[in-house]
Structure 1
């Protein structure tokens, strides 16, 4: 069986605020934004580099108290998302200029150059350029 993880849901408080961050601050492509009725939408974003080939995020607006409580803590306080780049310095500078908040200075690990950043909703991400 050939399989891949195509889409991962990310619970957010507001569709438009999430689109604005991922598209405008991180440079993701808006793949889909379709109304589903009842105020719900099917909103998918992905890194602009070859979005058809990679995993997309489904920006899912929180519905109810349990989902609201999960915003920003969907992985129990750990870094839950990993954005790989082929040029850490370029993307770190671009993200910083776009107002992305990094929680640490870039560091060099055996697996690559990395720094943790947060989205406006509290989810933590690694920006990482893997070692060659």
Structure 2
């Protein structure tokens, strides 16, 4: 099982997005500061701005939401998934890209963290 931690601006909004839109299950929540979510064999920790994970580093950098690192969720029908997320106001960084292994698109969670939605090419 893999565990990923995302820094988020709002834990409640993130929990709603991941559970309602991407099929995650809320496993545990620590008030407004952190939540643990799961989907298949992925565990996602979302940490808010007051979580211990948000403390400044010794060099002064502060962990923040956003960026380009991402995890990938495989979907069976990318077009239908994009349509459903669009109906709920999701923001996409690009249009669907067709590549040698399949099709993909980048969607942001409410804090600007990116998730790649990937539909593998049929064999």
Give the root-mean-square deviation of aligned CA atoms: 2.3
Q: Which residue number corresponds to residue 46 of structure 1?
A: 38
Residues 90, 103 of structure 1: CA spacing in aligned structure 2 closer, same or farther, 3 A cutoff? same
Q: Which runs of 5+ in 1 are unaligned?
A: none
Q: Helix, strand or coil: the match of 1:105?
A: coil
Residues 89, 130 of structure 1: CA spacing in aligned structure 2 closer, same or farther, 3 A cutoff? same
Q: Helix, strand or coil: the match of 2:85?
A: helix
Q: Which runs of 5+ in 2 are unaligned?
A: none
Q: Which residue number corresponds to residue 43 of structure 2?
A: 56
Q: Helix, strand or coil: the match of 1:10?
A: strand
Q: Helix, strand or coil: the match of 1:58?
A: strand
Q: Helix, strand or coil: the match of 1:22?
A: helix
* 1:114 shift after superposition: 0.8
TM-score (norm 2): 0.76
TM-superposition CA deviations, 1:22-72 (whole Å, max 9, x none): 12233322222245xxx644x22233xxx3xx1110112233345854221
TM-score (norm 1): 0.72
Q: Does 1:118 align with 2:108?
A: yes
Query: Across the two proteins, how many residue pairs are aligned to each other?
Result: 115
Rounded Cα–Cα distance in structure 2 between residues aligned with 1:70 and 1:59: 11
Q: Which residue number corresponds to residue 17 of structure 1?
A: 13
Q: Is residue 7–residue 63 contact of structure 2 (8 Å, CA) maintained in 1?
A: no
Rounded Cα–Cα distance in structure 1 between residues aligned with 2:56 and 2:89: 29
* 1:14 shift after superposition: 2.4
Among 121, 126, 130, the residue aligned to 2:120: 130
